[in-house]
């Protein structure tokens, strides 16, 4: 027997053990359960935690087993075989080598693997464009009912047209393989950003939340639900936010399937357990409000840097989603404070207590953003009617209307970029005046070429950042991360070149020397002290200007 088969058999045995101990514990009085589990799981603390999490979920909702929750999925980490059937479903898709063809598509590289299949970056030979190809398990291709449902939902997802949603191009079949072709989105996922930079604050948090909500609202108006909204499925591109895998979360789920360990009666949960709504975990019918719950989880994690229901394992997290209320966000960031009420509403256990429509959620975010001059002035490019839609007065505090808006910190940061670029450009003339004092012709050429190159790089990048901040604010953080090192290097080089010019001129022209030294010192103070402060304010929004 191969190692993979032995592992699958071992895990199947463990499922049966969990099932037996779970029901045996339920049959005992609560006062005896600890002693029973202590004896039954003496050398298996992880096993005991799983069983205790299931018991906790049962006590929260005694009918959860009747609703068809896939406990196996909750208890087995992603990527590990769950039984012979599940392992085969993933193993039937052999890896495709770079350069191989699938219909008209040329495979370039594997992008990732998940519960729904393998994703590849490929080249469309006919249209000469990069696409993402998701190969679906053979269990879907061989089931006519699921294929028909897959085609219907893929067609619905393909009909979506919104800048915040990755486009689904086609559902195709080649060489006996069923696959979905969609837009290849370049950028960083919000998960990558959280791991690299920590929580998102201020205006950036507001803009990110608003862009995600608008994309969700556009899809919901077309009757398409995501069902698996999480940081991994939201990508920040150079032009803003894009949600990927839209409307495809449940396409490979067979509603008639039965679990091998008989932990449920029928049905499967759809989505990532840690980011599912209570109704999804219970296997109930989910509508657009399940995406609102996922949105609340996502924005909470962006603001806090942690999952609101995070546990030591998936089963514990699942139990907390069913039972616990999320701890309210406590922050000195005015945007986080204003978003907290609508996050709490999105995380309501009862879907009826969430927003009636996702358009209402968008309106609530706009209302919550009235503290921010950037958010207040931002023109909605996607649905102009939002500006006229009534907002929820309960979310508009006295501080949000107490006087005229103050200049946004990001505006000052943009002004700083423009002013510095102008100063750098203007200093080309004084440095030109250094030429007569350089004895070597080669030295004169090198000095001027170096200065022009440094000014061109620094000014171009700074003006690009100012443009990005003004036109694509959601992409500012990513763009700054890309170019900040080069900008800082150009700043240092600019100051050094000015000092070199001052040293060359010396006493021959005291006024020119003083000008070069003074600007070099001023530039150093600006990029060492002034710019970090304005950049902090631009990225963290209004956290230092809370409501009075």
Q: What's residue 20's pLDDT?
A: 78
Residue 244 phi, psi (nearest 5): -110, 170
Instruction: Return the closest-CA partner of residue 39 out of 54, 24, 59.
Output: 24
Question: CA–CA separation, 409 vs 407, rounded Å?
Answer: 6
- Measured distance between the N- and C-terminal CA atoms of the chain, rounded to whole angstroms: 70
Q: What's residue 94's pLDDT?
A: 64
Q: What is the pLDDT of residues 388-429, one digit of tens each?
A: 444 443 333 333 333 334 445 678 888 889 999 999 999 999
Higher pLDDT among residues 474 and 110, named by residue: 110
Does residue 521 have a pLDDT over 90? Answer: yes
The class level of CATH for 93-183 reads alpha beta
Q: What is the pLDDT of residues 30-40, one digit of tens each?
A: 788 888 888 88
Does residue 534 have a pLDDT over 70? Answer: yes
User: pLDDT band for position 4 (50/70/90)?
Assistant: very low
Q: What's residue 418's pLDDT?
A: 92
3-state SS track over 267-306: CCCCCCHHHCCHHHHCCCCCCHHHHHHHHHHHHHHHHHCC
Instruction: Return mean pLDDT, the chain.
Output: 77
Q: What's residue 382's pLDDT?
A: 46
DSSP 373-386: HHHHH---SS-GGG
Q: Which residues pair with 114 in a beta bridge?
A: 117
Higher pLDDT among residues 31 and 344, named by residue: 344
Instruction: Return the closest-CA partner of residue 119 out of 166, 70, 83.
Output: 166
Question: CA–CA separation, 204 vs 335, rounded Å?
Answer: 9
228 is catalytic: yes
Of the candidates 61, 83, 124, 228, the residue annotated as catalytic is 228
Q: Which residues pair with 119 in a beta bridge?
A: 112, 134
Instruction: Return the closest-CA partner of residue 242 out of 272, 276, 219, 270.
Output: 219
User: pLDDT band for position 183 (50/70/90)?
Assistant: very high
Question: CA–CA separation, 235 vs 190, rounded Å?
Answer: 6
Question: CA–CA separation, 126 vs 82, rounded Å?
Answer: 39
Q: What is the pLDDT of residues 149-173, one digit of tens each?
A: 777 777 878 888 899 999 999 889 8
Query: Is-contact 428 455, C-beta < 8 A?
Result: yes
How many CA atoms lie within 13 Å of 123's alpha carbon, on the beta-carbon side?
9
Domain parsing of the chain, residue ranges: 93-183, 409-540
Q: Any idea what DSSP says for residue 181?
A: E
Q: What is the pLDDT of residues 263-280, one digit of tens each?
A: 333 333 445 778 889 998
Q: What's residue 539's pLDDT?
A: 58
Q: Which residues contact 138 (CB under 8 A, 6 or more apart)?
A: 89, 92, 93
The residue to which tokens 């900008």 are assigned? 487
User: pLDDT band for position 10 (50/70/90)?
Assistant: low
The pLDDT of 283-306, averaged and rounded, is 93
Question: CA–CA separation, 56 vs 75, rounded Å?
Answer: 14
Q: How many CB atoms lie within 10 A of CB 449?
A: 10
Q: Any idea what DSSP says for residue 29?
A: -
Question: CA–CA separation, 217 vs 357, rounded Å?
Answer: 8
Instruction: Return the closest-CA partner of residue 74 out of 53, 94, 95, 90.
Output: 53
Tokens of 169: 């191009």
Q: What's residue 12's pLDDT?
A: 53
Does residue 246 have a pLDDT over 90? Answer: no
Higher pLDDT among residues 387 and 417, named by residue: 417
Q: What's residue 453's pLDDT?
A: 94
Q: What is the pLDDT of residues 425-479, one digit of tens each?
A: 999 999 999 989 888 888 888 998 999 999 999 999 999 988 888 887 767 777 7
User: pLDDT band for position 140 (50/70/90)?
Assistant: low
Does residue 78 have a pLDDT over 80? Answer: no
Answer yes or no: pTM beyond 0.85.
Answer: no
Query: Is-contact 15 261, C-beta < 8 A?
Result: yes
Q: What's residue 28's pLDDT?
A: 82
Q: How many CB atoms lie within 10 A of CB 294?
A: 28
282: phi > 0 → left, psi -120 to 50 → alpha, else beta; which?
alpha
| H/E element, 443 | helix 441-471
User: pLDDT band for position 229 (50/70/90)?
Assistant: very high
Q: What's residue 135's pLDDT?
A: 86
The pLDDT of 321-344, averaged and rounded, is 90
Length of the chain: 548
Residue 245 phi, psi (nearest 5): 60, 35
Higher pLDDT among residues 48 and 542, named by residue: 48
3-state SS track over 476-527: HHHHHHHHHHHHHHHHHHHHHHHHHHHHHHHHHHHHHHHHHHHHHHHHHHHH
Instruction: Return the closest-CA partner of residue 308 out of 280, 327, 289, 293.
Output: 327
Q: Any idea what DSSP says for residue 165?
A: B
Query: Is-contact 151 199, C-beta < 8 A?
Result: no
């Amino acid at each position: 027997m191969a190692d993979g088969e032995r592992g699958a058999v071992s895990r199947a045995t463990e499922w049966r053990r969990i099932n037996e101990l779970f029901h045996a514990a339920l049959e005992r009085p609560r006062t005896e359960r600890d002693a029973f589990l202590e004896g039954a799981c003496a050398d298996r603390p992880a096993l005991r935690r799983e069983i205790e999490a299931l018991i906790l979920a049962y006590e929260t909702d005694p009918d959860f087993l009747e609703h068809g929750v896939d406990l196996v999925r909750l208890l087995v980490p992603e990527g590990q075989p769950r039984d012979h059937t599940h392992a085969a479903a993933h193993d039937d898709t052999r890896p495709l080598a770079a350069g191989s063809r699938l219909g008209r598509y040329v495979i370039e590289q594997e992008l990732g693997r998940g519960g729904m299949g393998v994703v590849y970056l490929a080249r469309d030979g006919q249209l000469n464009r990069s696409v993402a190809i998701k190969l679906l398990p053979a269990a879907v291709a061989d089931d006519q009912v699921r294929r028909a449902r897959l085609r219907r939902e893929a067609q619905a997802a393909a009909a979506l047209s919104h800048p915040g949603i990755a486009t689904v191009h086609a559902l195709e079949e080649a060489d006996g393989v069923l696959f979905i072709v969609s837009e290849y989105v370049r950028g960083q996922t919000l998960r990558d950003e959280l791991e690299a930079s920590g929580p998102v604050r201020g205006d950036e948090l507001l803009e990110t939340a608003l862009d995600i909500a608008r994309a969700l609202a556009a899809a919901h108006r077309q009757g398409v639900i995501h069902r698996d909204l999480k940081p991994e499925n939201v990508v920040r591109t150079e032009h803003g936010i894009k949600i990927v895998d839209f409307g495809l979360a449940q396409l490979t789920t067979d509603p008639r399937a039965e679990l091998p360990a008989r932990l449920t009666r029928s049905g499967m949960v759809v989505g990532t357990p840690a980011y599912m709504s209570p109704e999804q975990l219970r296997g109930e019918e989910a509508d657009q409000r399940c995406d609102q719950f996922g949105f609340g989880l996502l924005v909470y994690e962006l603001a806090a840097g942690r999952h609101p229901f995070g546990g030591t394992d998936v089963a514990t997290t699942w139990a907390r989603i069913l039972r616990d209320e999320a701890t309210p966000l406590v922050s000195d960031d005015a945007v986080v404070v204003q978003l907290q009420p609508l996050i709490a509403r999105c995380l309501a256990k009862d879907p009826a207590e969430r927003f009636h429509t996702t358009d209402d959620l968008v309106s609530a975010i706009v209302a919550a953003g009235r503290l921010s001059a950037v958010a207040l002035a931002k023109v909605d490019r996607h649905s102009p009617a939002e500006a006229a839609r009534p907002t929820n007065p309960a979310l508009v505090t006295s501080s949000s209307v107490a006087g005229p808006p103050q200049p946004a910190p990001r505006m000052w940061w943009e002004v700083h970029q423009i002013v510095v670029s102008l100063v750098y450009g203007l200093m080309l003339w004084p440095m030109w005046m250094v030429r007569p004092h350089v004895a070597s012709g080669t030295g004169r050429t090198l000095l001027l070429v170096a200065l022009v190159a440094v000014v061109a790089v620094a000014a171009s990048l700074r003006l690009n950042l100012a443009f990005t901040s003004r036109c694509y604010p959601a992409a500012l953080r990513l763009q700054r991360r890309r170019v900040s090192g080069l900008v800082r290097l150009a700043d240092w080089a600019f100051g050094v070149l000015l000092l070199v010019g001052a040293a060359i001129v010396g006493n021959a022209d005291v006024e020119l020397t003083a000008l070069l030294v003074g600007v070099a010192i001023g530039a150093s103070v600006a990029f060492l002290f002034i710019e970090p402060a304005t950049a902090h304010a631009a990225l963290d929004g209004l956290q230092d200007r809370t409501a009075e």
